[in-house]
Amino acid sequence: MGKIKTVYEDCDILVVGGGMAGTGATFEARYWGRDLKIVCVEKANIDRSGAVAQGLYAINCYMGMQWDENQPEDHVRYARNDLMGLVREDLGYDMARHVDSTVHMFDDWGLPMMRNEKTGRYLREGKWQIMIHGESYKPIVAEAAKKSADKIYNRIMITHLLMDEGKENRVGGAVGFNMRTGDYHVFRAKAVIVAAGGASHIFKPRAVGEGMGRTWYAPWSNGSAYALPIAVGAKMTQMENRIVLTRFKDGYGPVGAYFLHLKTYTRNGKGENYEKKWYEQTKKLVGEYIDHHPVPTCLRNHAFIEEVKAGGGPIHMVTTEAFQDPHLEVIGWENFLGMTIGQAVVWASQNIDPKYEDPELTTSEPYVMGSHATCSGAWVSGPEDLSPNEYFWGYNRMMTVDGLFGAGDTVGGSAHKFSSGSFTEGRLAAKAAVKYIQDLGNDKIEVKDKQCEDFKKIIYKPLENYKVGRNEITAGTVSPSYILPIQGLQRLQKIMDEYCGGITVNYMTNENLLKKCLDLLDMLQEDLEHVGAEDYHQLMRAWELKHRAITSQCVTEHTLFREETRWPGYYYRGDHMKVDDENWHCLTLSRRDPKTGKFTMEKVPLYHIVDEKKNEAS
């Protein structure tokens, strides 16, 4: 340990994660905080990091207010409908009213936008989506962050948040290590904005073994955004609301452009439209939600899953009609080249030409996110002018820990932000963080050396575990004294898959299974004290696993607490198969006690701020 160098950096605002939300936060922090010291720290390299690393083909959240295409109220209604009634409307409205300005900046910064030749407006793919040539989307937003920050640290994984020792429940910075040099980094900061993306790979993926990295969600998104705040006792919301995606089989290529732009549609193995077959059955579970337009994403998944269970698979996307049009055929392929090249490679390797053969679809393993068609994440304050009292405590997007802010996938309750909305939320969080620092005045943050030294010992322990334990074996990977990160990961995924509603059990779980799941996760936590890492890369894997494990505990606690099946198609509580608006038209909150590790759960009223008649709290 003595050999490991410690690097200190004191700053005003620390942004953890330089993805869409993190770059937005870094950029905006400089706008409002001209004299502040702003540092962004990223696990990969911000030029190509996060879910947008490979590029995107569409910006999925643009109102088009300048042309009166949509208003923020419309977006709130849309997100509310898609999430079966349960969203933080204050957060959604706040994001929606600012998102267009973000997109206009992307346009100014050189992101190639497609335009409708007749109207000159951005080319719509759907009601909310506009099309871009987005291969370089991430480097473009990274450039804005690089020009704004005092310093960007790449290749540093943040493992823990520091707490202020002068005032209870106030953040004091963060610590982590450089995966290349091994240096230990201490960032003392007055405000921290966590923007570290969502969680993949907590449930067993469909592709295992060597193909394990082939998932829909980025395999490097390891739930730090949740684990960091959970560990310091920040409240989380809607963590049960994991997302399952219907995507092209094996490559997980996106289907949005196919449905919306190419107007392709799905059929079962016999060539039938299967969705309407499940209408009555779904209505019995969810009531009038099935009659909403558009049909909520989870309910469309539900029909897919039921059809496959009933033996109607495989489910196909009918591409053979649209692809006869050469223009649409080009768009179909380009859609992948801009963001999921792997899908084109999978089709090529399986001799699938979508012009002549309808490709198969599948439903993915579940992921935990806060910015897509799902809203798991931290419980944050909303904006002063919109939020009801229970949703407002001083600073927009601040968590229940003072000085700790969130944006993008980190923030719960506000679905359908996507790339542009996440960048926007980063901007909102940064503006509030600057105000927070200004209000602090001369109030100092106190982080003593002991706190930093204690974390140093904890962080590098897996290297020590390996070094000592390795002597007990002569070959192979199985040791009596340590488990490797990959072994721990596979164990975690098996537990979550079988007990918390993964693919193996058709997304089904119940109280008994969830209680067992929690027991097994507790035992896993004990064993994770003995995880061994051979080098700094494996040390990162060890910490990714630990973050995934704590995120999984939170997901399981929430899933146990909500005694209903609110989102059939995302997961099922077999013991409570119906939507129960009378008891569960509310948000769920958890808090893990940092001292005991125990979670407590509560319900929070749901307020509808758009459309007065829906303004009932329960």
Helix/strand/coil for 249: coil
CA distance 241 to 559: 8
CA angle 373, 378, 382 (to 5 degrees): 90
CA distance 257 to 20: 21
586-592 β-sheet, strand order: 377-378, 236-237, 586-592, 599-605
Query: Exactly one of 106, 216, 323, 607 binds ligand FAD (CB under 6 A); which one?
Result: 216
Burial class of residue 83 in the structure, from the number of CB atoms within 10 Å of its CB (0-12 exposed, 13-18 middle, 19+ buried): buried
Helix/strand/coil for 198: coil
Query: Exactly one of 20, 76, 244, 549 binds ligand FAD (CB under 6 A); which one?
Result: 20
Phi, psi of 98 (to 5 degrees): -110, -10
CA distance 613 to 618: 14
String marking each residue 170-209 x if it binds ligand FAD according to CB under 6 A: -------------------------xxx------------
Query: Exactly one of 15, 33, 50, 377 binds ligand FAD (CB under 6 A); which one?
Result: 50
Determine the size of the site formed for ligand FAD (CB under 6 A): 39
Which residues are CB-contacts of 288 (< 8 A; sequence separation ≥ 6)?
A: none
String marking each residue 285-314 x if it binds ligand FAD according to CB under 6 A: ------------------------------
Which of 187, 274 has the CB closer to ligand FAD? 187
Residue 273 Cβ vs ligand FAD, minimum distance, rounded to whole Å = 26
Residue found by looking up tokens 């399981």 in the block:
556
End-to-end CA distance of the chain: 53
Q: What is the length of the chain?
A: 618
CA distance 465 to 484: 10
Q: Which stretch binds ligand FAD (CB under 6 A): 48-56, 164-172, 455-463, 524-532?
A: 48-56
Query: Exactly one of 14, 27, 29, 49 binds ligand FAD (CB under 6 A); which one?
Result: 49
Cis ω before 139 (30° cut-off from 0): no
Residue 51 Cβ vs ligand FAD, minimum distance, rounded to whole Å = 3
Residue found by looking up tokens 């009223």 in the block:
605
Residue 242 Cβ vs ligand FAD, minimum distance, rounded to whole Å = 13
44: contact with ligand FAD by CB under 6 A: yes
41: contact with ligand FAD by CB under 6 A: yes
52: contact with ligand FAD by CB under 6 A: yes
String marking each residue 413-452 x if it binds ligand FAD according to CB under 6 A: ----xxxx-x------------------------------
Residue 259 Cβ vs ligand FAD, minimum distance, rounded to whole Å = 13
Residue 153 Cβ vs ligand FAD, minimum distance, rounded to whole Å = 9
Residue 270 Cβ vs ligand FAD, minimum distance, rounded to whole Å = 30
Cis ω before 294 (30° cut-off from 0): yes
Report which DSSP code applies to 278. Answer: G
Residue 200 Cβ vs ligand FAD, minimum distance, rounded to whole Å = 8
Residue 165 Cβ vs ligand FAD, minimum distance, rounded to whole Å = 23
409: contact with ligand FAD by CB under 6 A: yes
Which residues in 142-171 contact ligand FAD (CB under 6 A)?
A: 157-158
CB 373 within 8 A of CB 416: yes
Query: Exactly one of 15, 18, 87, 128 binds ligand FAD (CB under 6 A); which one?
Result: 18
Residues at the site binding ligand FAD, with contacts judged by CB under 6 A: 16-22, 41-44, 49-52, 56, 58-60, 157-158, 195-197, 216-218, 220-221, 224, 371-372, 408-409, 417-420, 422
